Amino acid sequence: MNATDYTSGFLLGLSLILAIGSQNAFVLKQGIKREHIFFICLFCAISDALLISAGVAGFGAVTARYPHAVDIARFAGALFLLVYGLQSLYASVRRSHALTVDGQAVTSLKKALLLCFGFTWLNPHVYLDTLVLVGMVSTGASSKLAFGVGAVSASFFFFFALGYAARLLRPLFSKPKAWNILDGLVGILMLYLAWHLYNS
């Protein structure tokens, strides 16, 4: 395997995924709660792997030819983020909210994966990053396989590192007010991203 192309793919994949977004915020929160984190990280990484593989295989050209597919995803994603953002803001102020780490109401695996699905597959930027950008850059690699494997490796590394490193913040979130603040910040972030998607 071409080490140079692998490294280039890894660095590109890592640089695209480092930005704080709705998916990363969700993984971070699940990591702090230690709730279904392995399956959440695995779902995110496999989703990225599928999209990156499609991009390297040449589907970026298809996306560029049918831009309306991206527009549909953009509006659906904005609506999803709006609803989740409002729910997070409500959770940050309602009195019945389970605040302590050990007392957090456990979300079912099915619900957690459905939320993760929305944050991942209803985000049009993920298609632009993986199908289009990674796909286009991969055309300059002497080994598209090595480049693609590098980009996929970056996703697995990042999501599992983010999910499991989040537990280091667990002592902070043993304080009841910390969960209110986190929910409030997540809600504001989601509303901002919804507005940004709608106007982009």
How much is the pLDDT for 157? 96
Q: In the chain, what percentage of residues exceed pLDDT 70?
A: 86
Residue 153 has pLDDT above 80, yes or no: yes
The fraction of the chain above a pLDDT of 90, given in percent, is: 28
Sequence spans of domains, the chain: 3-199
Helices (H), 18-122: 22-33, 37-54, 60-65, 68-93, 109-121
Distance CA 116, CA 149 (A): 23
Distance of CA 17 to the CA centre of its chain: 8
In terms of Cα–Cα distance, which of 195, 162, 148 is closest to 7? Answer: 148
Of 60-64, 136-140, 155-159, 174-178, minimum mean pLDDT range: 60-64
Mean pLDDT (whole number) for 140-162: 92
Q: How confident is the model at residue 150 (pLDDT cuts 50, 70, 90)?
A: very high
Answer whether residue 101 shows pLDDT above 50: no
The dihedrals phi and psi of 174, each to the nearest 5 degrees, come to -80, -10
What is the identity of the amino acid at 181? I
> What is the distance between the alpha carbons of residues 170 and 167, in angstroms, rounded to a whole number?
5
Tell me the pLDDT band of 47, cut-offs 50, 70 and 90: very high
What's the confidence (pLDDT) of residue 103?
46
Q: What is the pLDDT of residues 111-144, one digit of tens each?
A: 999 999 999 998 877 887 788 778 777 877 888 8
Q: How would residue 99 be classed by pLDDT, with cut points 50, 70 and 90? A: very low
Task: Please check the confidence at residue 110 and state whether its pLDDT lies above 90.
Answer: yes
